[in-house]
Amino acid sequence: MEIVIADKSHSMYAEIICETIAESAAVRGTGIARRTPEYIITKMENGNAVIALDGDIFAGFCYIEKWGHGKYVANSGLIVHPNYRNAGLAKKIKHKIFKHSRTKFPDAKIFSITTGLAVMKMNTDLGYKPVPFSELTDDPTFWDGCQTCKNFDVLTRTERKMCLCTGMLFDSKAKDINEKKQVKSKVFQRLKHIKETMFLKKDKK
């Protein structure tokens, strides 16, 4: 099994990718926006997708979307062919597209909306946090992409405040700030402990 950044040489798989997405959406009944082969091919040609291949056989796929002039990116359309499910492939694809997103768009916030518990677990492991939709992109083009989902009426009725999907966000800058705070806190606690120990020794004398 090989998971690689897709390019135009993989355009022959666009049709089966779309079919697999459509079939999965029909089975689950929720949460997958359908795409055309032309749309998938564009993602491949721009280097904004990864594909999993077992030799020449299609096994899985995921692509990157940019929103808000590159301030946000989403890892969308994560799909594994039925013949390759329940073997940990989705997680490997997710990690590959996440790493590729951070390398290609280092300053962007990475977000996800999903109904899948497995995807939520993978997102959490990567450092995503659940957030209200108001913290995601306000780019109307992104939300228009939800029109092919059967639950789009829920999104419109709530004025894009909620749906059956859960919004999740990875913000590397916020993560760095939190890590710095944690480091500062640990350093402070260590210094405090040293001082307290010194005073205790002084008192004993």
Tens of pLDDT along the chain (205 residues) come to 999 999 999 999 999 999 998 888 777 665 566 789 999 999 999 999 999 999 999 999 999 999 888 899 998 888 999 999 999 999 999 999 999 999 999 999 999 888 778 888 889 999 999 998 888 888 888 888 788 777 888 888 988 888 888 889 999 776 544 444 454 455 556 655 654 555 555 455 5
Q: What is the dihedral of CA 176, 170, 64, 49, to 10 degrees?
A: 70
Q: Are residues 115 and 196 in the same domain?
A: no
- DSSP β-bridge partners for residue 5: 50
Same domain, 192 and 145: no
77, 14 Cβ separation under 8 angstroms: no
- Are residues 76 and 124 both part of a single domain? yes
Q: Do 146 and 187 share a structural domain? A: no
Do 90 and 23 share a structural domain? Answer: yes
Judge if 38 and 108 occupy the same domain: yes
- Shared domain for 109 and 152, answered yes or no, is yes
Please tell me whether residues 134 and 196 are part of one structural domain.
no
The structure's pTM equals 0.75
151 and 180 part of one domain: no
Q: Residue 191 is part of which domain span?
A: 176-205
Residues 76 and 98 reside in one and the same domain: yes
Identify whether residues 125 and 24 lie together within a single domain.
Answer: yes
Domain total in the chain:
2
